Structure 1
């Protein structure tokens, strides 16, 4: 009963917010994206996730809506400490004073899923305790249940016909399930730490697994400021030494792009939400920035040697935070992505089309010739440009639009990658508008391609292909002769394929059906007239009534056909 009441209250809240910001009208007319974004932020994590999913639908949304949905934030009011304390002690089975020497009662950050507190363990280790909002999972489940029930109604809106709403719901449910399970996030954080911590100027907080549960995650505390601080800082001000903020922004921008490409092509595991709130900048003092000594053992007697890193790192670090949204790319997918990038670089449209097709699954009627023509027409605009002039995000968005228009659906991992890439591009554009992401991407793609290229295996494969062709070569004159005999004897057959054959047949069938109905109606009216004329004048007879019934049935049929025609015209 309480669940039904909460659903009723939540539905009232959704209707109130939608009405306040005119969400349906604005979305259908692609107006006031800021108002729709604000409405989604007010409604919480489920709607924020839906907006983020739609942010890659360039075939559906205008550029202003794409930009608005990419900037969706989920800052919410933090819970009272009493609720947080109760949840933590229930999860751990210990009092907070038994685990922490200090625990800050006020959260320093709060998002839609959880909030973060600073604390110190008994051993003096400073940590961040991220705790889930009490009742958030139940609230999300209510939203998803309401959305599932509303799908048949929403599907009646013409503007939503291009969206697979059930597919969106599945993606939202999967994504939120992952983000609300902090054990999965702790595993993500641990894997990301092993892949990226101390990779050049990148730092990742360590996970303390002994304190992690489905609702709590404890991470190493790392001092720093949000990257937004650097983005908004005056360009000509000094960042460190003689380096200005403008120069530092360029360095950080390049570092972020190279780090992301390394995650994609080398690790196959990437941060899917790299917005400024999840990226911290840490300035390192000169005393902390000395080369670290490393100890190595060698030889049969275990001799030891120490050495230092060849040079000091710059006095800044980029820190990654929040590992709820992560993307996975297996070797097969990375190979397909590499093929697409190299094909684009070599201006091979056919190879680009094949690479894109390998990244998609067909969701409806598909015309391969139309797809190739549309892709070639679009890509031809970029072939005369240098790498620096190519807006990679715009290229990806347009390719996705062409895929959707041809009933092709990108692999979910690739969709997440493109979304993450779009988020990162927005950050990099604010740091260094002149940075060419295409150049960096091309370098990493080539590096991955040659890393996977096995000269020995490739030589074997080509040798087998050559040997097979040599074996078939003596049979070639016989096959040509047989083919000529078939043509000369009149036994050849030509298969013609008509583009949009199904649509044409459907239209022909509809036309034939209308003609049949018209003939039947004409026959009914004519036969009814004969029955009425031939009936006796003295009193109505069965024959006379049968004729009148025919007139009535024909009239009602004609009226229904007219109403159906007007409805279809009105709907269009």
Structure 2
């Protein structure tokens, strides 16, 4: 009963906020994106996630809406410490004082899923304790249940028919499930730490798995300020030594892009939400010598591991990654497909680009390959005369997605997440260094990955086998040509024609034939009714006259209904 009451109250809140900001009117007409974004932020994590999912649908949303949804923020009021303490001690089955020497009661950050507190372990290690808001999972489940029930109603709005709402709901459920399970996030953090900590100027907080549960995650405390601090700092002010903020922005912009490409092509595991709030900047004392960094490497045929230390003089700043709830996975097969796409774009091979894109998609409806190739070629030709620096990578990806969706092709979910992360990162890099070309960096990493995966010995074997097969078939070639010429000369040749949009044409022909049949039947009814009424003697029984009149009325009603149906279809178009 209490759940039904909460659903009722939540529904009332959603209706109230939707009405206040005119969400449906603004969204369907693509007007006032800031109002819709504010409404989604007020409604919390479920709607924020829906907005983030839609932020890559350039085929559905205007650029203003794409920009607004990418900037969705989820800052909320922190919970009372008594509730937080009760949840923590319930999860750990220990008192807070048994684990920490210090624990700040006031949260220093609070988002829609949870809030973060600074603390110090008994060992003296400073940590951050991220704890879920009590009751957040049940609140999200209420939203998802309401959204699922509302899908048939939304389907009545013509503008929403182009969106697969059930697919969006599945994606939102999966994403929120990952973000509300802090055990998954702790595993993501540990994997990301192993892959990226101390890679160039990148730092990643260490996770303490012994204190992590489904509702709590404990990470190493990393000092620093949000990257937003650097973005808003005066350009010519000195950041360190003789390096200005403007120069530091360029360095960090390049570092972020190279780090992201490394995550995608080398690790196959990337941070899917690299916005300024999840990136910290540490400015170190330049007088302190950089310590040796520990590296783990693999070598030999059995993938043996070795650890070694190298001293590398690095500049006195570090970029720190935070929040590992949204992460993307790319297996070798998917990375290979992405690499093929990038190399085909670089070599300006339209046919190869089309085939590579098709390999990244699944068909969700009628598909016309000729139309797809034609639309893709018309789009790509515009970019072939541009240099890599002039190519807007996010725009290219967005346009390709739009062409795919228009042709009933759905991108792999991992690729969709990758493109969303690209868009988020591009927005940050654009502010740091507008002149930096993500396409140049992407092409370099793609080529490196391609040659790394390229096995010369295996390729030589494959090509050798192909050559051997062709040589075996060569003696039979004259015989096959002779047989083909005999077939043509004897009149036994046959030509197969493939008609584009065959199903649509057949449906149209069927409709035309049905109309002709109906017209013939109506003409027969009218003619027979006329004969019954006027050509019989006066002594004719009355029911015969009535039968003729009934035929007239039935024909008239049918013609009227057909006319109204035709006018309705014309008006709808």
User: 1:535·1:541 contact (CA, 8 Å) conserved in 2?
Assistant: no
Whole-angstrom distance in 2 between the partners of 1:375 and 1:295: 44
Per-residue deviation at 1:539? 10
2:257 counterpart of 1:275: no
Shift of 1:266: 0.1
Distance 1:218 1:244 in 2: 35
Aligned to 1:2: 2
How far 1:22 moved relative to its partner? Answer: 1.1
Cα displacement (A) at 1:450: 0.5
SS in 1 for 2:219: strand
Deviations 1:422-445 (A, max 9, x none): 000000000000001111001100
Partner of 1:136: 136
Equivalent-residue separation in structure 1 for 2:207 and 2:451 (angstroms): 34
Q: Residues 342-361 of structure 1 correspond to what in structure 2 (within 5 A)?
A: 342-361=343-362
The answer to whether the 8 A contact 1:230-1:249 is kept is yes
Q: Which residue number in structure 2 is paired with residue 193 of structure 1?
A: 193
Contact 2:286 2:315 in 1 (8 A): no
- Is residue 39 of structure 1 aligned with residue 30 of structure 2? no
Q: Which residue of 1 aligns with 2:122?
A: 122
Q: Are 1:522 and 2:520 counterparts?
A: no
Counterpart contact for 1:104–1:119, Cα < 8 Å: yes
Question: For 1:174-213, what aligned pairs fall within 5 Å after superposition?
Answer: 174-213=174-213
Q: Is the 8 A contact 2:50 2:168 kept in 1?
A: yes
Residue aligning to 1:234: 234
Structure 2 residue aligned with 1:247: 247
Q: Which residue of 1 aligns with 2:507?
A: 506
Whole-angstrom CA distance in 1 between matches of 2:523 and 2:359: 54
Partner of 2:30: 30
Query: In structure 2, the residue corresponding to 1:380 is in which secondary structure?
Result: helix
SS at match of 2:49: helix
Aligned twin of 1:333: 334
CA-based RMSD: 1.9
Q: CA deviation at 1:294?
A: 7.2
CA contact (8 A) 2:78 2:107 kept: yes
Q: Look up the match of 1:300.
A: none
State the match for 2:395 in structure 1: 394
User: 1:74, 1:529 → 2: CA distance?
Assistant: 75
Evaluate the alpha carbon distance shift between residue 295 and residue 459 of structure 1 in structure 2; reply closer, same or farther with a 3 A threshold.
closer
- Measured after TM superposition, the shift of residue 567 of structure 1 is 3.2
CA displacement at 1:289 relative to structure 2:
4.1
| Bigger shift: residues 83-92 or 560-569 | 560-569
Q: Tell me what 1:224 maps to.
A: 224
CA contact (8 A) 2:118 2:126 kept: yes
**Residue matched to 2:463:** 462
Q: Does the alignment pair 1:94 with 2:94?
A: yes
Match of 2:434 in 1: 433
Alpha-carbon separation, structure 2, partners of 1:553 and 1:16: 51
Match of 2:58 in 1: 58
Q: Is the 8 A contact 1:271 1:420 kept in 2?
A: yes
Q: In terms of mean alpha carbon deviation, does 538-547 or 279-288 score higher?
A: 538-547
Greater shift after overlay, 555-564 or 65-74? 555-564
Asked whether the 8 Å contact 2:295–2:309 carries over to 1, the reply is: no
Deviations 1:239-264 (A, max 9, x none): 00110000000000000000000000
| 1:291–1:308 contact (8 Å) kept in structure 2 | no
1:293 and 1:338 map into 2 onto residues whose CA distance is 31
Looking at structure 1, the residues matched to 193 and 244 of structure 2 have their Cα atoms a distance apart, in angstroms, of 30
1:413-492 map, 5 Å: 413-492=414-493
- Indicate the SS of the match to 1:60: coil
For 1:166-195, what per-residue CA distance to the aligned partner results, in whole angstroms no more than 9, with x for missing partners? 111111111111111110011101100000
1:367 equivalent in structure 2: 368
Does the CA contact (< 8 Å) of 1:289 and 1:315 recur in 2? no
How far did residue 490 of structure 1 move? Answer: 0.8
1:557 aligned partner: 558
Distance in 2 separating the partners of 1:488 and 1:227: 77
- Deviation at residue 499 of structure 1 after TM alignment: 1.3
Q: 1:362 to 1:294 in 2, by over 3 A?
A: closer
* Deviating 4+ runs (over 4 angstroms): 293-296, 534-540
SS in 2 for 1:546: helix
Give the distance between the partners of 1:295 and 1:512, measured in 2 at CA.
75
Q: Given the two structures, how large is their TM-score scaled by the length of structure 1?
A: 0.95
1:375 CA drift (Å): 0.9
Equivalent-residue separation in structure 2 for 1:567 and 1:357 (angstroms): 38
Q: CA deviation digits over 1:72-130, x for unaligned, max 9?
A: 11111111111111111111111111111111111111111111111111221111111
| Corresponding pairs, count | 563
Q: Which runs of 5+ in 1 are unaligned?
A: 297-305
Tell me, which stretches of 5 or more residues in structure 2 are unaligned?
Answer: 297-306
Decide whether the 8 Å contact of 1:360 with 1:409 is kept in 2.
yes
Secondary structure of residue in 2 paired with 1:161: helix
In 2, are the aligned partners of 1:535 and 1:543 still within 8 Å (CA)? no
After superposition, the Cα gap between the structure-2 partners of 1:295 and 1:69, relative to the gap in structure 1 and judged at 3 Å, is closer
Q: Distance in 2 between matches of 1:13 and 1:240?
A: 50
1:15 CA drift (Å): 1.3
